[in-house]
């Protein structure tokens, strides 16, 4: 039996304030939970409605009633598994490879998609501005499909971080030079900006090269969604 206090704790973790207080976060669904269980993330507790569930782990899985899981879940239709994990320590990014920097990304789905893209393209470090949405937000975690276990994510003041970076800082700007015409180096920083306003003035001042994705359609006012733009730019960086 899961206690009322346990349920209350798990539920509180849907809010950033309590995640930071307890240094814990919640993941739901077999795909994400399995990836986290099999990674360096430390398990705090696991709950499932399925007595037969097999995660290939020695961690104890507490079997709970559907109604109990529903109370703990952030989803309208909960999956049959929920895991509580410790928030890992942030690792200092190294500048040997590419680093993605996010300036004030607000949409949890966009952040999740970008984490998944970093995993695909072998980007080990993602550095976010302090006002970027929390990567342990339930919607973000869902969109990562478990790839959060393979990308180091940190939150920091971007001006300070970029000031001390010993590599070129590329930034996505509508008015930037075509990425097709740039020779991308083997290491560098790629800055992506806010969904509505792009890169902030303060961060723009730290960008050494402004790049853009050429447009082929008729419209001249449109922009691309930040996650799809990141997809295209990471592909451009790697294809070289």
Binding residues (CB under 8 A) for its own copies: these are 109, 113, 116-123, 143, 145-147, 150, 180, 213-219, 222, 224-225, 227-229, 231-232, 235-236, 238-239
| Closest distance of CB 109 from its own copies, Å | 8
| Closest distance of CB 120 from its own copies, Å | 5
CA separation, residue 89 to residues 24, 41, 128, 177 (Å): 12, 10, 15, 37
Q: Which is nearer to its own copies, 19 or 150 (CB)?
A: 150
Q: Which is nearer to its own copies, 39 or 200 (CB)?
A: 39
Please report the beta strands in 107-220, taking only residues with DSSP state E, as ranges in sequence order. Answer: 125-129, 152-156, 169-178, 188-192, 209-212
Residues near 96 by beta carbon (within 8 Å), at least 6 away in sequence? 187
Q: Which is nearer to its own copies, 45 or 194 (CB)?
A: 194
| Closest distance of CB 238 from its own copies, Å | 5
Contact 154, 128 (CB under 8 A): yes
Q: Which is nearer to its own copies, 84 or 211 (CB)?
A: 211
| Closest distance of CB 171 from its own copies, Å | 18
Contact 111, 86 (CB under 8 A): no
The length of the chain in residues reads 240
């Amino acid at each position: 039996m899961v206690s009322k206090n346990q349920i209350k704790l798990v539920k509180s973790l849907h809010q950033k304030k309590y995640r930071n207080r307890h240094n814990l976060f919640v993941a739901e669904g077999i795909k994400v939970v399995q990836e986290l269980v099999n990674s360096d993330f430390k398990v705090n507790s696991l709950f499932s409605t399925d007595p037969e569930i097999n995660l290939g782990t020695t961690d104890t899985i507490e079997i709970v009633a559907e109604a109990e899981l529903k109370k703990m879940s952030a989803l309208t239709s909960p999956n049959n598994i929920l895991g509580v994990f410790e928030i890992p320590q942030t690792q200092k990014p190294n500048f040997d490879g590419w680093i993605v920097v996010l300036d004030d990304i607000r949409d949890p789905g966009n952040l999740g998609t970008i984490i998944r893209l970093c995993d695909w393209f072998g980007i080990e470090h993602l550095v976010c501005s302090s006002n970027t949405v929390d990567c342990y937000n339930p919607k973000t975690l869902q969109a990562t499909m478990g790839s959060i276990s393979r990308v180091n994510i940190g939150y920091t003041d971007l001006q300070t971080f970029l000031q001390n970076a010993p590599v070129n800082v590329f930034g996505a700007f509508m008015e930037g030079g075509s990425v097709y015409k740039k020779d991308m180096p083997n290491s560098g920083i790629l800055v992506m900006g806010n969904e509505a306003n792009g890169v902030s003035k303060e961060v723009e001042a730290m960008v050494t090269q402004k790049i853009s994705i050429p447009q082929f359609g008729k419209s001249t006012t449109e922009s691309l969604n930040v996650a799809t733009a990141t997809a295209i730019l990471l592909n451009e960086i790697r294809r070289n």
